[in-house]
Amino acid sequence: AWRLWSEGRPLELMDSFMRDSVIISEVIRCIQIGLLCVQERPDDRPDMSSVVLMLNGERALPNPRQPGFYPHEVGSSTSKHELSSTNEISISLIEAR
């Protein structure tokens, strides 16, 4: 989604069969809001009340920044992300429903 957004092609995320049954500006708005919610810095992400207002509003939205999970190019200055947890421990707990 981020790659298509940054390349100016967010509508390629949408199934082509849906194009005639949706309002394109609303689809783009939802994609933009989704990308705002996964920005790398938590302080840049909107809280849920802001998301609700964004979904209901007509105001212009800020441009999203790169998501925290986006793979960086090898050799770039920002490629020093670790792919493990801080303490390198993973715990899985299985609980019945």
pLDDT at 20: 86
Q: Would the pTM count as exceeding 0.85?
A: no
> Cα(93)–Cα(15) distance, rounded to whole angstroms?
36
> Cα(9)–Cα(28) distance, rounded to whole angstroms?
10
pLDDT at 87: 62
Tens of pLDDT along the chain (97 residues) come to 999 999 999 999 998 888 889 999 999 999 999 999 999 999 999 999 999 999 998 789 999 998 987 665 544 444 444 444 566 667 777 777 7
